[in-house]
Structure 1
Amino acid sequence: MKCFFPFKDKTKSKKQGAQSAPELRNQSKSSDLVLDRATKSSSSLPSPRSIPELYKEKEHNLRVFSYQELREATNGFNRLLKLGEGGFGSVYKGTISPEHGQGSPIVVAIKRLNPRSLQGHKEWLAEVQFLGVVNHPNLVKLLGYCSVDGERGIQRLLVYEYMPNRSLEDHLFNRALPTMPWMTRLQVMLGSAEGLAYLHQGLEVQVIYRDFKSSNVLLDEQFRAKLSDFGLAREGPTGDRTHVSTSVSGGVVGTYGYAAPEYIETGHLSTHSDLWSFGVVLYEILTGRRVLDKNRPPAEQKLLYWVKQFPADGKRFSMIIDPLLRGQYSLTAARKLAKLADSCLNKNAKDRPTMSEVVEVLKQALQDSEAGTSSENRSFEASGSKLAKRKPK
C-alpha cells in the first residue's frame, strides 16, 4: 500500500538487544489530543481517555514474543509460507506454541516489518495501540508482538489470528476462487459495518478506521468478516470538533479510489470518511468490479462514474450486477444496496448515514434476500473449506 502516515512518533528506541513494549504514551498526535482535553474549560464531565491511555490498561493482554520464536514459527520466514506483501513488509503463515506450553499449536499470521520502512514502523506502532484496545468479533484479533533492537537491526513483528479464507478482494476478483454468492456478500458487508459501527460508537474514544477496502476485509473459516490493518487508524474528534486534521502536503494517506473527497482536498478526517469508503466497497460487491480497472474500456474504468449510468430505480439497473452471480440474487435487495451506497457516497459528508443506520439497512437487505439462497451458500462454504486447506503459494 503506497501511503504516508502522519503519525509523528517521537519515541526513542531502547538500547540494542533489548525486547521492549511499544512506547506509545509520547506520540505527538495522541498527546496533543490529551492536552486539548485537559485545557478545555467547558468540560464538567470527565474527558474520554485517549487510545494510549486505554492501551496502558490492556497491554498485559498481548503476548510478547522473541524474534527467535517467530523465526521458528515460520520456518525461517520461508517464502512458501508467505501470505502477502505490502509497503510495510510481508505476512507469513506460522505456528506458535500455546503461551503456557499446554494445548495444541496455534496457527497464526505473522507480519514482519521491513526494517528500512519508516512508514511500516509508524503503522506497526499504531496497530499495537489500536488492536491492543479494541475487542469485537468483526475486528481481527492481535495476539502479540515482537520488538527487538539488536545487532542485526530493528525487528518489529505482529502476530494475528489466522484467517483461512483470505480477503473479500480475493473472492470478488480472483477468478481462480469460487464465486462468492449473494447472501455471503451481504453477510460480509453486514459484519464489516458492525465492526465499523463499534469503532465509531462503541468505545470510550471514537476511532476513524481510514483504510476500509475489500483487501482489508479478511474472512475466517465461516466467512465471517474481520477488519484488519489498523496502521492508518486515528482517534476521532473530541468536544465540539467535527473532524481531525492531517497534513496533505505529503499526499493522501490510504488507497486510491477509496478515500473520501473532503479528505483528499482538505486533509480533514471524520467517521464520515469511512462511510465514503464503505459505499465504494458496496458497489464492488454489487458489480464484481474493482474501483479502478484500466483493463476495461475507458468509459468503464472508474467504477463510481460507470454505475451512475444505471441508477437504482432505473430499468437498466440490473446491468451492473456481477454476471458471475448468474441471476442468483434479490433485485429488491440489490436496489436497496445501491441506494445505500449512493447515500454513503454523498459529496456532502454530513448527509451520509451513520454506520449504525447502514447496519439496519443491510439487515433488511438480508431479510429481502433469504429465500432461495441457502443451498448456494452451503456449496460455496464447502468450496471455501477446501481452499483453506491448500498450502499457501
Structure 2
Amino acid sequence: MFEINRAGAFLFLLVSTFWLVSSIHAQPTYVSHSFSRPNNASDNANYENNLTALLDSLSSKASLYNFYNDSANQIYSLYLCRGDVNATTCQNCVRTASQEVQQQCQSNRTAIIWYDECKLRYSSENFFGIAATSPYFLLWNTRNNSSPDERDVGGLAFIYTLVSKAPNWENMFGTDVAEAMNNASQNIYGLVQCTRDISNDECRSCLLQQIEEIEGCFQGKIGWNIVGPSCNMRYEQYLFYQQPLAPSTPASQPMPDDNPVTGAAVLLGFYLYCSIFRRKREPEEHVSEEILLHHSTAATHFMEGHIHERDQDNSGELHCFNLTTILTATNNFSDANKLGEGGFGPVYKGKLLNGKEMAVKRLSRKSGQGLEEFKNEVMLIVKLQHKNLVRLLGCCIEREEKLLVYEYMANTSLDAFLFDPIKSRQLDWAKHAAIVGGIARGILYLHEDSRLKIIHRDLKASNVLLDEEMNPKISDFGTARIFGTELFLKIWSSNSGYMAPEYAMEGLFSMKSDTYSFGVLLLEILSGKKNSGFHHPDHSQNLLSHAWQLWNEGKGLEFIDPNLVDNCPVSVALRWIHIALLCVQEDPNDRPPMSSVVLMLGSETASLPTPAARPFSVGRFCISDQSSTTGTGTGTGFLKLDKSSTSVST
C-alpha cells in the first residue's frame, strides 16, 4: 500500500542511489488523525503554548528513542516509531507529526495522528499505561481476492501467531514472513506493535481486539492495516517493512504484479470508516460469552471470533472456536503437535493466545452425521461435568472440518505409563489406588449420575488420560455417539481385548459391557501387562484366564507387577483381583453394576461373591480377524450393530 511507484526500470536504475541517500529525509506517509474535545477560548492560548513546548521536547528525543512519553502542565503525550525504522526516519516522522498535529488539532484537548512510520498522541487526561483501542483507523489493499466472500484463513492464522509472540518480544514489536497457505511460491508478511507503556497482557488484548475488527471488516482482502492508540498491525503479500541485512543474503523486496497504488490520496478513497471514534460495544465480560450457533449457506461453521483467548467455565454451554484459532493453536495440525491417533481421528496439542493448552481431536470426515446432528450430540456431551472425565471445551465446524476441543492432559494417557518399564515406576500404590478409584467413579457417573445414561463402550488404558497431578480422566466417552456405526466398527479389532463377549460376538451392549472393560483394565493396572497379545510361556492363556488360574491356586501375588508387589497392601491387591474377575464374567447378569464396584473397591471388609467360571476370552474367537474393518468375517453377530446402537441409552 505504501510503496514507491517507479516509472520504469531505467529510471529506477538512474535514481536508485539518490533515493537511498535521500529517503531518510523523505516525508513520512500520512495515514489519518483524530481529535476531539475543543478547548475553551479563555484558556486556549496558554494551553497551546504548553502543548508546543511539550511536543518540541518529544521531537528532540526521537533521535535517541523510538518510543517516549512525557507530561508537563497536565498535558500527557507520547510518540511511537515503527520498530524497523532508523533514528533519522523516526525523528523526521515525529517532527512532522508534531508540526501537523499543532496545525490541525492544537485547539483540542485530545488528539492522535498516524503515519506509516510513527504515531503521536496527546491528551489533557493521563492515558499512560492504559491500553486503548479506540479511536482506530483501517485501510485495505485494493488488489483483492477474486472471491470477496472467501476468508484468508492462512493470513489470519499467520497474524494470530505474530500476536501470540509480539507482546513478549523486545520493544513489543515483531515482524515475520511465511509461505501463503494456498501458494507455496507466495510469501506473506506481517507486523504488529504496541506502545511500551502498557503491559504484555494488555498488548495482547489490544491486538486481539483489532483482529476482531479485521475479521468483521476485511473478509476477502489480501492486505490490510489497522492503527489505534496503543497497538497496530499490518498484513501484506509483499515486503512493506525494512529487514536488517544479513551478511550473506541481502534483504530483497518482492513487488506486486501490477503497479501498486500510492499515497494517502488514493488510500483515502478506499479506507473503511468503521467507527473511527468509539464504537458502541458490549461490556468486555460479555463479548465472548454470548455463544450463539448459526449456520451460513456460504460455509458450514459455528460462530467465529472472541473465543481465542477465553477460558471455559462450568456452565455447560457450548463454546465455539473458529478454524483460524485452531490452525494457529496447533501450528496448522503439524506433526510436531500430534499427540496420537485413535479410531476417530488424530489428536493435536494446541496452545491458545492466552497460554492455555488444549487437545484438538480432528474427527474423521467419514462421519454419517450432518451438521445439526453433530451439533446436538456435542451440546449433550459438553453438559457432562465430572472430575474424572476429560472436559470438552468446545468444537469447531468449518469447511470440511469437525473438531472437538478438550482440556489438555499433561501426562498423556495411562498406557504410556502402565506398560513402560521405566515410567511405570512412577506409579506407586497410592497412585494406582487413585487411578483405579477415579476410573470407577467416572464410569459410575456416566451410568447413573449424569443427565444422560452413557455407555462408554471403549474403555481402555489409552482412553484414560492423566493430568499433571496424575489424576485419571476418562476420554472419548461421547465420541462414539457422534459417528455412525461404520466408522465405529473400524476400531473394533484393536479394542477387542476390552470388549465384553456379548458386544464383540453379538453386537449387544449394556452398562455391564463397561463393567467388563473396567475389569480388564483393572487386571492390566495390577499386572502392568496388556491383555491384548498376552501369552504365558507355560500355558497359552490370555491375561484374564491367567489371573483366574493364579487366583484360584492361591498364587495371586504372582500376578501383581513385581515393581508394585513389595509396596502394596497384599490383602487389598488380592481383593482387587477378585473384583476384576467378578467384572469379567461371561454372563452380563453376573457382573456387578459400577455402583457396587465402587463400594467394593472402597471397602476391605464387605464380602465378595465367587466368580462363576473362568473368564470368557473374546480374543480366542476374534483376534484372527483383525484385518476386517467392515464387520464381515469372524463373529457375524457383530453386524447386529446398527446406527441406533451408537446412541446414548436413556
With the shorter chain as reference, the TM-score category is 0.5 to 0.7
Q: How do residues 103-118 of structure 1 correspond to structure 2 at under 5 angstroms?
A: 104-115=354-365, 117-118=366-367
Cα deviations by residue, 1:141-192 (Å, 9 ceiling, x for unpaired): 011111012xxxx011111111111111111102342421122112111111
Question: Is residue 185 from structure 1 mapped to residue 432 from structure 2 by the alignment?
Answer: yes
SS of the equivalent of 2:592 reads: coil
Corresponding position of 2:299: 17
Question: Is residue 345 from structure 1 mapped to residue 627 from structure 2 by the alignment?
Answer: no
The one-letter code of the counterpart of 1:105 is G
Contact residue 337 and residue 365 of structure 1 kept, 8 A: no
Select the residue among 216, 225, 248 that pairs with 2:463: 216
SS of the equivalent of 2:359 reads: strand
Question: In 2 relative to 1, CA 331–60 (structure 1 residues): closer, same or farther, beyond 3 Å?
Answer: closer
Whole-Å separation in 1 of the counterparts to 2:490 and 2:351:
38
Deviation at 1:216? 0.6
Question: In 2 relative to 1, CA 341–206 (structure 1 residues): closer, same or farther, beyond 3 Å?
Answer: same
Higher relative contact order structure (alpha carbons within 8 Å, sequence separation ≥ 6): 1
Select the residue among 383, 394, 407 that pairs with 1:133: 383
Whole-Å separation in 1 of the counterparts to 2:455 and 2:385:
15
Contact residue 316 and residue 384 of structure 2 kept, 8 A: no
SS of the equivalent of 1:175 reads: coil
Question: Is residue 81 from structure 1 mapped to residue 350 from structure 2 by the alignment?
Answer: no
Moved more, 58-67 or 69-78: 58-67
The one-letter code of the counterpart of 1:321 is I
Question: In 2 relative to 1, CA 173–128 (structure 1 residues): closer, same or farther, beyond 3 Å?
Answer: same
The one-letter code of the counterpart of 2:454 is V
Unaligned ranges ≥5, structure 1:
1-12, 22-57, 98-103, 236-245, 367-393
Whole-Å separation in 1 of the counterparts to 2:375 and 2:531:
29
The one-letter code of the counterpart of 1:19 is H
Corresponding position of 1:257: 497
Whole-Å separation in 2 of the counterparts to 1:89 and 1:232:
10
Question: In 2 relative to 1, CA 162–126 (structure 1 residues): closer, same or farther, beyond 3 Å?
Answer: farther
Whole-Å separation in 2 of the counterparts to 1:124 and 1:139:
20
Corresponding position of 2:454: 207
Q: How do residues 332-371 of structure 1 correspond to structure 2 at under 5 angstroms?
A: 332-364=571-603
Whole-Å separation in 1 of the counterparts to 2:449 and 2:383:
12
Contact residue 534 and residue 543 of structure 2 kept, 8 A: no
Contact residue 381 and residue 478 of structure 2 kept, 8 A: no
Contact residue 218 and residue 227 of structure 1 kept, 8 A: yes
Question: In 2 relative to 1, CA 296–84 (structure 1 residues): closer, same or farther, beyond 3 Å?
Answer: farther
Whole-Å separation in 1 of the counterparts to 2:370 and 2:540:
37
Pairwise CA RMSD: 3.3
Corresponding position of 1:167: 413
TM-score (norm 2): 0.42
Corresponding position of 2:566: 327
SS of the equivalent of 2:498 reads: coil
The one-letter code of the counterpart of 1:72 is T
Corresponding position of 1:390: none
SS of the equivalent of 1:159 reads: strand
Deviation at 1:302? 1.7
Question: In 2 relative to 1, CA 80–251 (structure 1 residues): closer, same or farther, beyond 3 Å?
Answer: closer
Question: In 2 relative to 1, CA 16–229 (structure 1 residues): closer, same or farther, beyond 3 Å?
Answer: farther
Contact residue 465 and residue 472 of structure 2 kept, 8 A: yes
Question: In 2 relative to 1, CA 140–252 (structure 1 residues): closer, same or farther, beyond 3 Å?
Answer: closer
Select the residue among 299, 312, 316 that pairs with 2:539: 299
The one-letter code of the counterpart of 1:316 is K
Whole-Å separation in 2 of the counterparts to 1:96 and 1:293:
40
The one-letter code of the counterpart of 2:412 is R
Deviation at 1:250? 6.2
Kindly name which structure, 1 or 2, has the bigger radius of gyration based on alpha carbons: 2
Deviation at 1:120? 10
Deviation at 1:232? 5.2
Contact residue 109 and residue 161 of structure 1 kept, 8 A: yes
Matched-pair identity in %: 37
The one-letter code of the counterpart of 2:420 is N
Corresponding position of 1:309: 549
Whole-Å separation in 2 of the counterparts to 1:125 and 1:171:
35
Contact residue 126 and residue 232 of structure 1 kept, 8 A: no
The one-letter code of the counterpart of 1:147 is I
Whole-Å separation in 2 of the counterparts to 1:344 and 1:309:
16
TM-score (norm 1): 0.67
Question: In 2 relative to 1, CA 139–81 (structure 1 residues): closer, same or farther, beyond 3 Å?
Answer: same
